[in-house]
Amino acid sequence: MKKVLVTGACGYIGSHTVKQLAKNGYVVDAVDIKPSSNDISKYVRFARIGNVISESIKWGRYDTIIHLAAEVSVEESVKNPWNYYNNNVISTRNLMRMSSFDNFIFASTALAFNPYSSPYAQSKLMAENIIKEYVRLNNKHFTIFRFFNVAGNDGEFKQIGNATHLVRIAAETAAEKRDYMLLFGTDWNTPDGTCIRDYIHVSDLVDGIVKAVENPADTEYECIGTGVGHSCLEVIETMKKVSRKKFKVVNYERRTGDPERTLIPEGEVISSYVSPKRTLEEICASAYYTELLDKKSWGVG
């Protein structure tokens, strides 16, 4: 039975990935810098919580390492770039050097197509280059996934920490966990003046990650999206529709580091690793009901 190590395993994408790997019969070990409300214990053989990446070498050889751990806020990266270079670049290098593996799967970002837009985007591109150089020199396999906007959930696991992504913020507002939400920029050069993004359901994305365990791409990168763009305003209106709530939205100035569009560039193609099945309505509905249930767990509503 193949052994897989997942970093960032208690996080949003990590917890969904660990669950799907276990369901597919893999032996899964997990690493994360801190615990979360996503309880992955029943899906893993070992879980190490804390600054313990170096311990992975003690657990023996892995068929595949899935590296999902990262700092991911564009806005925060502008304020504290060194933290992003340290955690997203140097830590990736250290993980590869300390671990024994045949196949390395890396969670990158669509923002790597425009690396100078933010330190976060630059850090991910730098990590991509380190990975490709390392596997070339050491005769390993790899897959680099450039994720577009990941949202929704499977009903068991969810996004953790403070919300920074539009779908979750809209879901929190619909669930009345917020009095209102901010819409960052209404004067972009788009049909309705708001930013456009390609949103993919986390379960569709995880299906692609699991496929790469058996069939590494060994390509420059794989685009994980749907090929369809939705504006911020369209997402908000969809959330209002599925939740049947007319929550308050406040127009606000543009946010530092935000690109106008995050779409699969012309000449690029959606990766064959994904076959998106879930719609924007399903993404928004899953996010909303998760926030609604979470609110009820507080004894409210």
Q: Which residues are designated catalytic?
A: 120
DSSP string of the chain?
A: --EEEEESTTSHHHHHHHHHHHHTT-EEEEEESS--S---GGG-SEEEESS-GGGGGGG--EEEEEE------HHHHHH-HHHHHIIIIIHHHHHHHH--EEEEEEEEEGGGGSGGG-HHHHHHHHHHHHHHHHHHHHT-EEEEEEE-EEE---SS----SS--SHHHHHHHHHTTSSS-EEEE-S-SSSTTSS-EE-EEEHHHHHHHHHHHHHS---SS-EEES-S--EEHHHHHHHHHHHHT----EEEEPPPTT--SEE-PPTT--B-TT------HHHHHHHHHHHHHHHHHHTT--
Cα torsion angle, 154, 150, 181, 163, sign: positive
Neighbour-count burial for 208-238, b at 16+ CB within 10 Å, e otherwise:
bbbbbbeebbeeebbbbbbebbbbbbbbbeb
User: What's the distance, Cα to Cα, between the start and end of the chain in Å?
Assistant: 46
How buried is 127 (Cβ within 10 angstroms: 0-12 exposed, 13-18 middle, 19+ buried)? buried
